[in-house]
Structure 1
Amino acid sequence: MITRRSLLGAAAATPLLSLPSIAQNNTKVLRYVPSSNLTILDPVFTPAAVSITHGYCVFDTLYGMDANLQPVPQMAAGHTVSDDGLTWEITLRDGLMFHDGEPVRAQDCAASLDRWSRRDGFGQALGAATESFSAKDDKTILIKLTRPFGRLLHAIGKPHSSPAMIMPERLAQTDISEQVTEMIGSGPFKWVADEYVSGDRMVYEKFEGYVPRSEPAAWTSGGKVVNFDRVIWQVIPDPATAAAAIQAGEVDWVASVLPDLAPLMEASPDVDLFRQDPFGLVSVMRFNHLQAPFDNVDIRRAVMKAVNQTPYMQAVTASDANRQECLSSFPCGLPGVNELGEELINSLDIEGAKEALKAAGYNGERVVILNPTDIASIHPHGLITADILTKIGMNVDLQDTDWGTVVQRRVSKEPVDNGGWSIAHTNWPAISIDNPATNATTRGLGEKGWWGWFKDEEMEETVASWLSAQSEDEAQALFDKAHARALDQVPTVPLGQTFQDGAVRKDLTGLLQASVSLFWNVDRA
């Protein structure tokens, strides 16, 4: 019988992977195993972590996030703001060039910001307060607002869930309903399109024309110094195979390690565990608000009444140190977040949920749960939810598939009988949903927002007021108001916070903490 332990034990003796060979020309290669397959290349089109990781290789941002989680200039040299707060001028630093050899111009940045502001939740909040994104000249971006927006740099510098990545104007003119597929950015790596094999590997080459900043690298800011000629992503869906591969030295970095394999990684003389994101992941159950039965808020409330976070978190990690109950629709432990859901979350009231479901008028509609089999931190959640919904009397159809298919299918707005869906689970880096504007799981943008398409004008009015708050006390009161509204309307059911470790070969140095894997600053000792 082949077990994970026996497979790991045999790793050193038997090559597990058929990896592409590199010619003996001193090419320095970093081999990385992503947590899932890369199916969507456009990092503005989707907030999926694997697409954002890819995006940071190819593209750059005007502002990055530093170690104190504050926005600082990245592509920008700096900015000025008019006395009335309505006109922002952002100057580009010298030496910026796209991978096709063209210089980065303010026109490219303005078009990129405009497209991003139509797709991303925080971007849409900025867009609603913006008269125009334009270019004063080739080096100066001009942003004209209709009202002050003090968190503008936080918006365009946010590190996750569709960051405001800059691309050439011709690509940025792509309609927001369509994906950009030509990967031309100004980031530290070039995308090698002809070596891309979905489900197998992705290849990036060092961009020799990239000019790093002089400051030390931190999160998504500072000097993005590349020390490898090529970065090769090798997709390995089975966690045990990935763990064996890094022990055997066939790969250098595995993005996520299954908790029951972590002790074996810790015991390896050549491998270290690496906690990339110190703020953890927030797991959520997301409803499709366009289709029955979850277009009915009372049915959503009935489901939340039956949920308990503990089994969801235990299915991801058995370690108490790697999980945290969070009775909140916002990540616990971050500024401004109060646990307001103590009486609503974790009630585990199956009988009460049954009665609430009947009272809400549930009529036996089929509930399609999209469940990825190749993401260890998400797959168990579909099984648990299916069990809960069956117990309270719902007609459940659990559909197992790979993550790439889930990512593509969950954007469908069709009924379940025509390829649609009812529930999908995912997790978010806590830092990416830390306030009312960035939290896509609670925003009420409807069909312009995150998949699931929760629409709530009251929520959006509260978010706009929070963005315009004149004092910290006013901002906190509005934060709590948005939070209470989310708990009442249940756009998403929070399932707790967990912390995941990756694995790296011990000879790697300079790894950075962030919400996704970053490949600059990394070197081999």
Structure 2
Amino acid sequence: MKRRTLLGAAGAAALARPALTQPATARVLRFVPETNLIVLDPIVTTAAVTTMHGYAVFDTLYGVDEQLRPQPQMAEGARFSDDGKTCDILLREGLVFHDGERVLARDAVASLRRWSQRDSFGQALAAAVDAWEAPDDRTIRVRLKRPFPHLLRAIGKPHSSPAFIMPERMASTDAMRPITDMVGSGPLRFKADEYVSGSRIVYTRFEGYRPRDEAASWSAGGKRVHFDRVEWHVMPDHATAAAALRAGEVDWWETAQGDLVPALRRDRRLTVRPLNAFGLILGMRFNHATQPFSNPALRRAILAAVNQADYLQAVTGGDADSYRLCRAMFPCGLPGVNELGVDAMKQPPDLAQARAAVAAAGYRGEKVVLLHASDHPVIAPLGDITADLLRRLGMNVDQQTMDWGTVVQRRVSQEPVERGGWSIFHTTWPGSSVTNPAENLYIRGQGARGWFGWHDNPEAERLTAEWLATSDPGEAQRLLDAVQRSTLTSVPVVPLGQMLPNMAHRRELGGIVTASSPYFWSVRRQ
């Protein structure tokens, strides 16, 4: 059967943005995202805004509940063979894509195959897969070379490139090439004709969506949308976003800037609360493929020079209840996570020792290109702090200011800095997205196959493979600690601490699912 699409190319016949002062209706939800949506394909980027967009348009075979346990979503369930080497996943009846075509097992197989080429947890799964098969229209069969105890957790992971299911014709696209044709089977339809990057993104409720019967919990459960239309209004100026929220021109602001939170909390028409339960990890990412940070001794010197409090206070407005020091490569406070970086990251650091360490590492004045995202409410302050720190350490810093969307585009380059490359960028990741060695793509040591920065650490990869293969809790804990120790030596990223960002919304909104990403199901106007 020929598969078809009813959506045009993104941005075609884009309409002018309507005035925000028009009267709100109960059927329209107006949302201010943390930053602009530029990359639409949630498989080719880990940008949080694209993942949020992905959850609106697409669905997954499995999701996770608030305890991060995998739960069936598009699937009715899964059955493993006695030897653990075959997993059959059965699709629910009645699932359709936005273009009216049935969701078939071959769509899921193609989607899992493409996802597993890009995502770090997916790559670990793919290494154990002998074949992805669709023996009939509703059965996805995963034949394994060896048992993979974390299979359902991998395909149900909630953040940073979840395993979204797309039509086969889209999922057959080269995994390195972004798709722009947004046909999913999720609860919302992307309005390509109203997409204006930097201004407005629009979704409408998909009447053909079939929610599960149970209540929504994180990325699992019944995804019931109570609005006919969801509009994202991009507002890089934080004061403008706060004013629009207070005036009732928008309903929900994803991430309220720290210094504006006290005033928002005093407004009785608003509710301010943590965006998610596990917080955000702040990070400084090095480019390991080019000088000067191809030198691990220099990376260790920077790790020792960082004062996490400087970064955390800047992004939270000094609110001590909104952050914690976390000198670890995994989120502090999660079961099994030990803060093993305490010795490597003395707080406060000794800058004289750090300057000596930079010189001893062999740094000779090479240019450090720092990509600084000035429009991102959390990431923006980090660049200024790092630029100042590196200059105090005697380094030659070229701080290049741009919007976050441009950082996302620039960070794919492996060119030297003289030809448009980069040395450092800053980012954040939800604590729920890095709970184990396989899915923590920020510290994976996959080299050229890995995440931007291309950290190469064969020891960490070997330990991760052993973690994936064990079902013994004690051995898993030993391996988790060993991965941390290895990466605290190779320093793929400098952890800058853990924060609890606040979202703000009109008090009449209820049902917001507090999770790793804002979701648009369950939300209603009370």
| Equivalent residue number for residue 338 of structure 1 | 338
Measured at CA, do residues 473 and 280 of structure 1 come closer, stay the same or move farther in structure 2, by a change above 3 Å? same
Q: Is the 8 A contact 2:369 2:423 kept in 1?
A: yes
Q: Is the 8 A contact 1:287 1:452 kept in 2?
A: yes
Paired letter, 2:66: A
| Equivalent residue number for residue 5 of structure 1 | none
Secondary structure, aligned partner of 1:133:
strand
1:96 shift after superposition: 0.6
- The correspondence of residues 93-242 of structure 1 with structure 2, limited to 5 A, is 93-242=92-241
1:21 shift after superposition: 7.8
| Equivalent residue number for residue 7 of structure 1 | none
| Equivalent residue number for residue 19 of structure 1 | 18
| Equivalent residue number for residue 444 of structure 2 | 443
2:313 paired with 1:288: no
1:470 shift after superposition: 3.0
Paired letter, 1:244: A
Secondary structure, aligned partner of 1:79:
strand
| Equivalent residue number for residue 6 of structure 1 | none
Post-superposition CA distance 1:471-515 (Å, at most 9, x none): 100110011110100101101010000111111111111100111
Paired letter, 2:416: P
Secondary structure, aligned partner of 2:344:
coil
1:19 shift after superposition: 3.4
Name the TM-score, length of structure 1 as normaliser.
Answer: 0.95
| Equivalent residue number for residue 387 of structure 1 | 388
1:333 shift after superposition: 0.5
Secondary structure, aligned partner of 2:209:
coil
Q: Is the 8 A contact 2:24 2:249 kept in 1?
A: no
Rounded Cα–Cα distance in structure 1 between residues aligned with 2:501 and 2:326: 16
Paired letter, 2:421: G
| Equivalent residue number for residue 12 of structure 1 | none
Q: Is the 8 A contact 1:27 1:230 kept in 2?
A: no
Rounded Cα–Cα distance in structure 2 between residues aligned with 1:495 and 1:211: 41
Secondary structure, aligned partner of 1:78:
strand
Secondary structure, aligned partner of 1:141:
strand
Q: Is the 8 A contact 1:327 1:346 kept in 2?
A: no
Post-superposition CA distance 1:76-117 (Å, at most 9, x none): 001100011000000000111001111000000011001111
Post-superposition CA distance 1:384-432 (Å, at most 9, x none): 1111111111111011111111111111111111111000001110110
| Equivalent residue number for residue 509 of structure 1 | 510
1:160 shift after superposition: 0.3
Secondary structure, aligned partner of 1:475:
helix
| Equivalent residue number for residue 11 of structure 1 | none
1:376 shift after superposition: 2.0
Measured at CA, do residues 300 and 25 of structure 1 come closer, stay the same or move farther in structure 2, by a change above 3 Å? closer
Post-superposition CA distance 1:255-281 (Å, at most 9, x none): 011111111111112111132201110
| Equivalent residue number for residue 14 of structure 1 | none
| Equivalent residue number for residue 40 of structure 1 | 39
| Equivalent residue number for residue 260 of structure 1 | 259
Identity %: 53
Post-superposition CA distance 1:285-327 (Å, at most 9, x none): 0000110001110111111121111101011111110010011
Paired letter, 2:512: L
1:202 shift after superposition: 0.2
Post-superposition CA distance 1:202-239 (Å, at most 9, x none): 00000010010000011001000011000000000011
Paired letter, 2:188: F
Rounded Cα–Cα distance in structure 2 between residues aligned with 1:89 and 1:146: 15
| Equivalent residue number for residue 352 of structure 2 | 351
| Equivalent residue number for residue 416 of structure 2 | 415
Rounded Cα–Cα distance in structure 2 between residues aligned with 1:261 and 1:510: 24
| Equivalent residue number for residue 400 of structure 1 | 401
Measured at CA, do residues 474 and 19 of structure 1 come closer, stay the same or move farther in structure 2, by a change above 3 Å? same
Secondary structure, aligned partner of 2:56:
helix
| Equivalent residue number for residue 67 of structure 1 | 66
Unpaired segments ≥5 residues, structure 1: 1-16
Kindly tell me the number of residue pairs found equivalent between the two proteins.
Answer: 509
1:243 shift after superposition: 0.6
| Equivalent residue number for residue 297 of structure 1 | 296
Secondary structure, aligned partner of 1:367:
strand
Bigger shift: 25-34 or 407-416?
25-34
Rounded Cα–Cα distance in structure 2 between residues aligned with 1:327 and 1:29: 43
Q: Is the 8 A contact 2:225 2:522 kept in 1?
A: yes
Rounded Cα–Cα distance in structure 2 between residues aligned with 1:470 and 1:398: 46
1:174 shift after superposition: 1.1
| Equivalent residue number for residue 245 of structure 1 | 244
- The correspondence of residues 363-374 of structure 1 with structure 2, limited to 5 A, is 363-374=364-375
Rounded Cα–Cα distance in structure 2 between residues aligned with 1:402 and 1:366: 21
Secondary structure, aligned partner of 1:274:
strand
Rounded Cα–Cα distance in structure 1 between residues aligned with 2:68 and 2:220: 10
Q: Is the 8 A contact 1:433 1:439 kept in 2?
A: yes
Rounded Cα–Cα distance in structure 1 between residues aligned with 2:489 and 2:99: 50
| Equivalent residue number for residue 477 of structure 2 | 476
Paired letter, 1:381: L
Paired letter, 1:128: A
Measured at CA, do residues 193 and 452 of structure 1 come closer, stay the same or move farther in structure 2, by a change above 3 Å? same
Secondary structure, aligned partner of 2:77:
strand
Paired letter, 1:437: A
Secondary structure, aligned partner of 2:232:
strand
1:377 shift after superposition: 1.0
| Equivalent residue number for residue 376 of structure 2 | 375
1:22 shift after superposition: 11
Secondary structure, aligned partner of 1:398:
strand
| Equivalent residue number for residue 324 of structure 2 | 324
| Equivalent residue number for residue 10 of structure 2 | none
Secondary structure, aligned partner of 1:476:
helix
Rounded Cα–Cα distance in structure 2 between residues aligned with 1:379 and 1:69: 30
Paired letter, 2:28: V
Paired letter, 2:358: L
Paired letter, 2:101: E
Post-superposition CA distance 1:158-182 (Å, at most 9, x none): 1001000000111111111110111
Paired letter, 1:478: L
Unpaired segments ≥5 residues, structure 2: 1-15
Rounded Cα–Cα distance in structure 1 between residues aligned with 2:24 and 2:398: 53
| Equivalent residue number for residue 82 of structure 1 | 81
Measured at CA, do residues 75 and 476 of structure 1 come closer, stay the same or move farther in structure 2, by a change above 3 Å? same
| Equivalent residue number for residue 501 of structure 2 | 500
Q: Is the 8 A contact 2:130 2:145 kept in 1?
A: yes
Secondary structure, aligned partner of 1:203:
strand
Rounded Cα–Cα distance in structure 2 between residues aligned with 1:353 and 1:27: 57
Q: Is the 8 A contact 1:111 1:134 kept in 2?
A: no
Rounded Cα–Cα distance in structure 2 between residues aligned with 1:183 and 1:358: 50
Secondary structure, aligned partner of 1:128:
helix
1:349 shift after superposition: 2.4
- The correspondence of residues 267-286 of structure 1 with structure 2, limited to 5 A, is 267-286=266-285
Rounded Cα–Cα distance in structure 2 between residues aligned with 1:62 and 1:237: 34
